[in-house]
């Protein structure tokens, strides 16, 4: 079974819809005093996972990358 869920980052918050990368994985903030969120730490789970997966994926002849449609 393969389940692929498509979401839109920042839906409903205008600054996040315009710049979803800056609002990805932010901690809670006050909507009345909205400021630019801090960027995610470089040592995030996603970065560590990607760094471990990338070398394997480069060698795998049967791998197919997933991309946003």
Evaluate whether residue 65 is within a structural domain: no
- Cβ(10)–Cβ(17) below 8 Å: yes
Q: What is the mean pLDDT of the chain?
A: 72
**8-41 burial: b if 16+ Cβ within 10 Å, else e:** eebeeeeebeeeeebbeeeeeeeeeeeeebeebe
Evaluate whether residue 4 is within a structural domain: no
Number of domains, the chain: 1
Q: Which domain holds residue 45?
A: 14-59
Average pLDDT over residues 44-56: 81
- pLDDT score of 56 more than 80: yes
Q: Where is pLDDT greater, at 1 or 53?
A: 53
Which tens digit of pLDDT belongs to each residue from 27-46? Answer: 666 667 666 555 555 667 77
Evaluate whether residue 8 is within a structural domain: no
pTM (2 d.p.): 0.34
Which tens digit of pLDDT belongs to each residue from 2-14? Answer: 767 777 777 787 8
């Amino acid at each position: 079974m393969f389940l692929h869920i498509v979401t839109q980052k920042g839906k409903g918050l205008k600054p996040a819809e315009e710049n979803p990368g800056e609002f990805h994985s932010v901690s809670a903030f006050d909507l009345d005093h909205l400021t630019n969120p801090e960027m995610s730490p470089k040592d995030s789970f996603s970065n560590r996972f990607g760094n471990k997966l990338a070398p394997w994926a480069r060698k795998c002849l049967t791998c197919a990358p997933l991309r946003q449609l």
